[in-house]
Amino acid sequence: MTSSTPPPGTPAANAGPLAGIRILDMATVIAAPFSATLCADLGAEVVKLELPDGSDSLRTLAPVKDGNALYWKVTNRGKRGITLDVRKPEGRELFLRLLPQFDVLVENFRTGTMDRWGLDLATLHAVNPRLTVLRLTGFGQTGPYAQRPGFARIFEAMSGFAHLTGEADGSPQHMNYPLGDVVAGLFGAFSIASAMAERGRRPDLPGREIDLSATEAMLRLLEPLAVEFEQLGEVRQRAGTRATYTAPSNMYKTSDKVWVTVVGSSESIFRRICEAMGRPELLDDPRFTTNPDRLRHLDALDGIIASWCAAQSFESLAAALSRHEVPFSKVYGIDDVLADPHFQAREAIIRLPDPDLGSVPAPCVVPRFSGSPSPVPRSGPGVGEHNGEVFAALGLDGAELQRLKDARVI
């Protein structure tokens, strides 16, 4: 830790494996703030820093209800909130006074932006030599694209992910959710935890700079594509909802219009699918003997399974697949998630206390650690909600805070 005791007004640290770690999150929108939120879920104390005008675009990104930024409330959960304009001289001075209280700084500005504000790495480490700085950008701190702006759909397109999404004879597709942002956020949280684990072993080490490219994070997920291209000369293509590496594995529609995903990626499961369909003769069909055989005759196999699914209701289909222990699921909407008894039993959706709406639903803390009950964080903070208590730790009184507010420094 950079300080042995938390400043006055700091709430007791949450239980969790990251308890005692203090993070200053000055990032915007989704990806990098999600990194800090995941750490807060696991016990880190996180202070969210934003501009005094509350102009972070996550505050206006849908969904919004009656002026309440619902996205902000869940994505910045478990954090205290302050405002500070670090671009102004007084704001920069306050920022540097704050830094010694923190172990980690999270930022996502375009490469070189912090330097232009007089907050280059040398300056940050001059006031806190052990500070870990997570820099999450679209393309990293080096390379010809380092100055480019980045958004989730750009990461998805340039990594090759969008190329795999969509029907075989249609256009590439994006999903209706910024997947590239949350994937980068996962890597960011992993990076922070890794840096803190290293520091636990080597407390003498100076602070780290973590250069996280969101596009590289997406690319990292697509592990076999490069070797597939080099060794086989194949560029993997879109295949709709099919998998082209194992069969059967696809989505099928029932007679009552329910979409179901069915996975048979081993010989034993394929056998059970045939038994569930009442088609044991397929096991002796040379087209379907092995997974490579099934992939070569994918159209025929998918046609057989699709016809079987289309001839019965979801209830009867689910009964047959369950009886034969075939992996399957209805394709859930969020309404199905909320109604599912398994998710209810595990409290997979929790309610965050919220000053405006009473409480709001959000996913639970993941994963669960034995011996450490999962906390229930409150929703994301209001603009400058905790200015008083955080800046009071620097010795600023009410009159000084009001002066800084009037000057739009905080």
- Residue 46's DSSP bridge partners are 23, 79
SS3 of 181-196 = HHHHHHHHHHHHHHHH
Distances from the Cα of 233 to the Cα of 218, 229, 408, angstroms: 22, 4, 58
d(CA 155, CA 179): 9
Burial zone of 15 (CB within 10 Å; 0-12 exposed, 13-18 middle, 19+ buried): middle
| Contact between residue 184 and residue 214 where contact means Cβ atoms under 8 Å apart | yes
Two structure tokens written together for 172: 């590439």
Q: How far apart are CA 163 and CA 133, in angstroms?
A: 33
Start-end of H helices in 42-143: 70-75, 89-98, 113-116, 121-127
**Is 115 marked active-site?**
no
Q: How far apart are the first and last CA of the chain?
A: 26
Choose among 11, 84, 119: nearest CA to 383: 84
Q: Out of 56, 103, 181, 354, pick the active-site residue.
A: 181
Q: Which two tokens mark 125? A: 């480490």
Q: Which residues contact 207 (CB under 8 A, 6 or more apart)?
A: 124, 125, 128, 129, 130, 131, 132, 133
- What's the CA gap between 73 and 334, in Å, rounded? 18
Q: Rounded CA gap, 22 and 270, in Å? A: 50
278 contacts 304 by C-beta, under 8 angstroms: no
221-254 per-residue burial string, b: 16 or more CB within 10 A, e: under 16: eeeebeeeeeeeeeebebbeebeeebbbbbebeb
**Catalytic residue numbers?**
181
